[in-house]
Amino acid sequence: MRSKPTFALCFVVLFVGSSAALLADGFPKDCAGTYLNQEGSGAQSIWTLGADGSFLGESSTQEVFNFSGQQGTWESDGSSGAKGVFLDFSFDASGALLNIGRVDVVFHRVGHDCAKIAGSFSLRFFEAGEDPLNPASDTGTPITDTFTGRRLTVAH
């Protein structure tokens, strides 16, 4: 007879323990996926958050401003959201490298699921002699914007 209460107690401890771990991770890895974003500036972007922390991006302004696709990394920030960083290459009209762009992003889920995200980002350009892996080396003024995004899903 003692085994039933012991089993129930173990179940409760495991369930509560795993729920606490899930809640502690503010932006869960199961929110990994692809998002269509509308930026405050009017531009649109597509971001893919990989469950492994990879972060890929494309922007509707790439052709206009001569820059490459974006690659980077993201992680949960330990509260209700996440943060990430992208790098890309910018080119002049002849195709020569002008600088490396760095986009620092902060975002959070809108609601309790992963269907929508929102946040802001800061874009900096790193010229020769500046290090995009060291944001303090940038001497320019960052460009900032906000965004909202919707997760891409397969229609059923």
Percent of the chain scoring above 70 in pLDDT: 83
What average pLDDT score do residues 55-83 get? 94
Q: Does residue 22 belong to any structural domain of this protein?
A: yes
Domain containing residue 37: CATH number: 2.40.128.30
Q: What is the pLDDT of residues 96-122, one digit of tens each?
A: 999 999 999 999 999 888 999 999 999
Residue 35, pLDDT > 60, answer yes
Both structure tokens of 80: 């209700």
- Beta-carbon contacts of 115 under 8 Å, excluding residues fewer than 6 positions away, are 150, 151
Q: How many domains does the chain have?
A: 1
- Beta-carbon contacts of 25 under 8 Å, excluding residues fewer than 6 positions away, are 76, 78
Question: According to the model, what pLDDT value does residue 7 have?
Answer: 37
Q: What is the pLDDT of residues 122-136, one digit of tens each?
A: 999 999 999 999 999
Expressed in angstroms, the distance from the first to the final Cα of the chain is 47
Mean pLDDT of all residues belonging to the chain? 86
Burial of residue 43, with CB atoms counted within 10 A of its CB: 0-12 exposed, 13-18 middle, 19 or more buried: middle
What average pLDDT score do residues 29-34 get? 90
pLDDT confidence bin for 26, thresholds 50/70/90: low
21 sits in which H/E element:
helix 3-24
Measured from the Cβ of residue 103, the count of other Cβ atoms closer than 10 Å reads 22
Nearest to 59, CA basis, from 79, 84, 86: 86
Question: According to the model, what pLDDT value does residue 6 have?
Answer: 40
What average pLDDT score do residues 32-49 get? 97
Q: Does residue 116 belong to any structural domain of this protein?
A: yes
pLDDT confidence bin for 70, thresholds 50/70/90: very high
CA distances from 7 to 10, 12, 14, 17, 21 (A): 5, 9, 11, 15, 21
Sign of the four-CA dihedral 34, 74, 88, 145: positive
CB 39 within 8 A of CB 47: no
Q: Does residue 15 belong to any structural domain of this protein?
A: yes
Q: Does residue 147 belong to any structural domain of this protein?
A: yes
Range of the domain at 62: 3-151
| Cα Dmax for the chain | 81
Q: Does residue 156 belong to any structural domain of this protein?
A: no
